[in-house]
Structure 1
Amino acid sequence: MKSEAKDQLIQKLLSRKEELIELCSNLLKINSENPEGDSTEITQFIDEYLKEAGLETKIYEAAPKRFNLISEIKGEGNKRMILCGHTDTVPAGDRSKWSFDPFSGEVKDGYLLGRGASDMKGGVAGIVFAMAFLKKEGISLPGNLTLALVPDEECGDIYGVPWLLKNNHLSADGALIAEPASPLNPTIGQKGSCCFKVTVYGKPGHGSLAPFAGRSAIVDCMRAIKEVQTVTDLEIKIPEDVLPLIDLSNEYIRGSGMKGYDKVLKKITCNVGTIKGGTSSNVVADKCEVQFDCRLPFGTTQEEVYDYVKTKLNQLGIDYSIERFGFRSNANYTPAEDPICKSVVDNISYVKNDHGYGVLQWACSDARHFREYNIPVLQYGPAETETIHGFDERVKVQDVVDCALVYVLAALDFLQA
């Protein structure tokens, strides 16, 4: 699109930004915590909003109370793009630690407040509004634009994007996920993930005789944890083709003031997430379970990490079992030169009047599923990063508005290219 046409569209959208802010506020008022994973209310609300804008919708219940919503604007050409987001949030947790009601949807001091504001109801509001805006304004699209809202990203990631792709409800030439990102830096790649639970078995005995009686599963588990954590010390040979992207991403990390974090893109990280063991203080523990979350850089795989962990545990001479769970993926990315990346980054630069560029993310996301189906994808959404999954989650109103502008302009540019 030419600059003059973009500027006209921007002014039209800005004239209706209060509608966008109200939409985001209303989404924040709806409790869509996962677990429990009930997306009924939020799906119904968005469904009604889209229908009022003149859009048709399709709703798929992939599991009880887990609803996927799809809406499409058909254009003149055959090129296809997806705008994607998840409607579930992590739980609000201890509400006494919030300085405001996490489901108030309050707008205060330039921020939208509430659970999911940054992850990712600000982004969901932007892509939903973008679809409604294009429909209401009667803007002719040069291709087909699909909105996909999924209920299951925060816990398990089974009944959302992978379910839609597996059941042939989604296909496209490019996709944008409205996940939180830096204002100038969409994430065009993610590390892999390998989550597993180690259960260590001991021999019970009277606590007054430990360590001379029985064998403590907890003590053995402590040894196991120490060995598993050595996975971070492994030297990984990073493929040559991704080194420039990693170097660029590390420049971004250092420039953002995140000291020490520039190591994570070349290392396997290992988080000891939960531990549960024993029955009583006066009983030698016969069982102990610990859950690990490892994130994998380019240059290694889930199987390699899993095999390394088992080798280390076997050397300890302990009685244990190991079981995988949760997110599973190897590191993956979409080249910055891909048309979907260029369309989004170019319009970030245009809207922000500053230089935007894509970076790698040290976590993982729904993006990997699109790439498994050969759909190029990147992530860009409004966020106050330090509040994500924490108390007092919030997002800047201006960032929500700017992202909505990028979604509209990027869709038009990508579909006509």
Structure 2
Amino acid sequence: MSEDLVAQAAQRSASVIELAQELIRRPSRGGIDDYAPVLGALEDWLSGRALPHRRLHDEAGQLVGLLVEITGGRPGSWWTLDACVDTASFGDESAWSFSPTAGDVESGWLRGRGAADSKLAASAFVHIAADVYARAESLHGGLAVLLDVDEHTGGFGGARAYLADPEAARPAGVMIGYPGMDEVVVGGRGLWRATITVYAPSGHSGSSRSVLGAVSRAARLVQLLDSADLPGSPIDGSGFPLPPKLSITAIHGGQGFSVSPDRCELNLDIRTTPAFDDQDAETLVRKAVDELDAELPGPAPTRVEPIACWPPFRLQDDEQPAAALIQAATSLGIAVRTKTAGPSNIGNLLAGEGGIPATAGFGVPYVGLHGIDERAHLAELPQVYAVYHQAVLDLLTGR
């Protein structure tokens, strides 16, 4: 990595922090706040530097993000930097030791909701776009910066709108700016989610008739699912390092004390792998449901309603854009390891949309992500900035 690039990153830090502070002071909790103010701050910054950008809307016309597009002067692939600018909720604000919208710097930490996830990254990425724009004529392909405001809802509306936009160049790969400096996330388990509805005759809880209620039938189904046989270690030779996982995440049924309910709903989350995919997950669930209905018959068959399905993904270390990011970090003397994450992330969505490769994490150290007193450590910001800048330049010059 050139000394000029490192020096430029150090010079950029003050401006990156200043914009990030402005973003943090504009609350943008997913599904709660109006996103126009936080996107407006970004639009003002981009317009002030004449960077080409436009709003993204979902099918219902709702504002779901901004897209910055820097076109190179030579043919080639497009690459994308992605950071969400909506955030998790504040939780118990009385438990915070500072305001969730403080946006200040204390003892080297940028403080407030979104400091770690991912307003600092969003600020860094638009600054990198400005750096790239200044030399775009010499570059191949193009750089897009996606600023999503429908990420923490789980809807990923900005990403979906970007991928569905006929005017946007389809990216050859995406680098997502989640925080954490020790790892580059190159994979994640997939998911298969469903709502299961269990039925039973309703009646008075004090009735002389013996009636097995829906909650009791649902409890038996939970036992069957929890005891289901999932593969342990990877068995397909893919090298995928994590096993599948099944979790019952919610049970809803009944009210009060005197009525035995006629239905009970379960939320089921199964994390999938190449050795245990969505079809395997659904087969396992339907087998357990059939066993329940045979053992404890109800007035109607138990209903399984699939809700969401994302495939697992994993990049090899020499695949782009992982290779460019790892190489750039190594050139700066930063030892990073690759990681396949247990939770799913936007990389799974991209994998399901035509197999777009993605990294999902390399950023500054952090504390309190999605929790109390969220903050991001700023001493490492110049290094993180330089790594992404170098990786982007390597991808746009075909190195």
Q: TM (normalized to structure 1)?
A: 0.85
Letter in 1 for 2:175: L
Greater mean deviation of Cα atoms: 372-381 or 122-131 = 372-381
Residues 200 and 384 of structure 1, relative CA distance in 2, 3 Å threshold: farther
Q: Which residue of 1 aligns with 2:306?
A: 324
Alpha-carbon distance in 2 for matches of 1:64, 1:273: 32
Residues 400 and 198 of structure 1, relative CA distance in 2, 3 Å threshold: farther
Q: Which residue of 1 aligns with 2:148?
A: 150
**Structure 1 unaligned residues grouped into runs of 5+:** 247-264
Q: How far off its partner does 1:82 sit?
A: 1.0
Corresponding residue to 1:98 among 89, 93, 96: 96
Q: Does 1:15 align with 2:11?
A: yes
Contact (CA 8 Å) 1:141, 1:412: kept in 2 or not?
A: no
SS of structure 1 residue aligned to 2:197? strand
Corresponding residue to 1:369 among 311, 326, 349: 349
Q: Which residue of 2 aligns with 1:250?
A: none
Q: Which residue of 1 aligns with 2:41?
A: 45
Q: How far off its partner does 1:14 sit?
A: 0.6
Q: How far off its partner does 1:37 sit?
A: 6.5
Q: Which residue of 1 aligns with 2:177?
A: 178
Q: How far off its partner does 1:278 sit?
A: 0.5
SS of structure 2 residue aligned to 1:16? helix
SS of structure 1 residue aligned to 2:259? coil
Q: Which residue of 1 aligns with 2:80?
A: 82
Contact (CA 8 Å) 2:57, 2:161: kept in 1 or not?
A: no
SS of structure 2 residue aligned to 1:337? coil
Greater mean deviation of Cα atoms: 364-373 or 22-31 = 364-373
Q: Which residue of 2 aligns with 1:221?
A: 218
Contact (CA 8 Å) 1:37, 1:66: kept in 2 or not?
A: no
More helix by share: 1
Q: How far off its partner does 1:83 sit?
A: 0.9
Q: Which residue of 2 aligns with 1:31?
A: 27
Q: Which residue of 2 aligns with 1:359?
A: 339
1:129-161 Cα distance to aligned partner (Å, 9 max, x none): 2213444x6576522211112222222425221
Contact (CA 8 Å) 1:236, 1:300: kept in 2 or not?
A: no
Q: Sequence identity of aligned pairs in percent?
A: 22
Contact (CA 8 Å) 1:198, 1:291: kept in 2 or not?
A: yes
Greater mean deviation of Cα atoms: 233-242 or 54-63 = 233-242
Alpha-carbon distance in 2 for matches of 1:293, 1:349: 37
Q: Which residue of 1 aligns with 2:237?
A: 240
Q: Does 1:343 align with 2:324?
A: yes
Q: How far off its partner does 1:345 sit?
A: 0.5
Residues 217 and 301 of structure 1, relative CA distance in 2, 3 Å threshold: same
Contact (CA 8 Å) 1:179, 1:381: kept in 2 or not?
A: yes
> Aligned Cα RMSD in Å?
2.3
Residues 29 and 64 of structure 1, relative CA distance in 2, 3 Å threshold: farther
Residues 361 and 141 of structure 1, relative CA distance in 2, 3 Å threshold: farther
Residues 173 and 64 of structure 1, relative CA distance in 2, 3 Å threshold: closer
- Aligned residue pairs total 387
Alpha-carbon distance in 1 for matches of 2:364, 2:205: 50
Greater mean deviation of Cα atoms: 379-388 or 200-209 = 379-388
Alpha-carbon distance in 2 for matches of 1:385, 1:290: 35
Alpha-carbon distance in 1 for matches of 2:246, 2:64: 33
Contact (CA 8 Å) 1:300, 1:330: kept in 2 or not?
A: no
Q: Which residue of 2 aligns with 1:114?
A: 112
1:279-330 Cα distance to aligned partner (Å, 9 max, x none): 211221222222122211221111210111111121012542221224x212
Q: How far off its partner does 1:385 sit?
A: 6.2
Letter in 2 for 1:332: F
Q: How far off its partner does 1:118 sit?
A: 2.1
Q: Does 1:69 align with 2:49?
A: no
Contact (CA 8 Å) 1:174, 1:376: kept in 2 or not?
A: yes
SS of structure 1 residue aligned to 2:66? strand
Q: How far off its partner does 1:49 sit?
A: 0.8
Aligned pairs for 1:281-296 (under 5 A) are: 281-296=257-272
Contact (CA 8 Å) 2:310, 2:349: kept in 1 or not?
A: no
Contact (CA 8 Å) 1:174, 1:340: kept in 2 or not?
A: yes
Contact (CA 8 Å) 1:74, 1:141: kept in 2 or not?
A: no
Alpha-carbon distance in 2 for matches of 1:56, 1:273: 43
Letter in 1 for 2:72: G
Alpha-carbon distance in 1 for matches of 2:263, 2:380: 49
Alpha-carbon distance in 2 for matches of 1:287, 1:344: 51
Contact (CA 8 Å) 1:30, 1:103: kept in 2 or not?
A: yes
Q: How far off its partner does 1:193 sit?
A: 0.5
Contact (CA 8 Å) 1:82, 1:175: kept in 2 or not?
A: yes
Q: Does 1:276 align with 2:256?
A: no
Greater mean deviation of Cα atoms: 10-19 or 369-378 = 369-378
**Structure 2 unaligned residues grouped into runs of 5+:** none
Greater mean deviation of Cα atoms: 385-394 or 360-369 = 385-394
1:206-260 Cα distance to aligned partner (Å, 9 max, x none): 22348x54332111111112222234644465332325xx3xxxxxxxxxxxxxx
Alpha-carbon distance in 2 for matches of 1:141, 1:111: 37
Alpha-carbon distance in 2 for matches of 1:355, 1:114: 28
Contact (CA 8 Å) 1:34, 1:89: kept in 2 or not?
A: yes
Greater mean deviation of Cα atoms: 170-179 or 24-33 = 170-179
Corresponding residue to 1:57 among 40, 49, 53: 53
Residues 368 and 176 of structure 1, relative CA distance in 2, 3 Å threshold: same
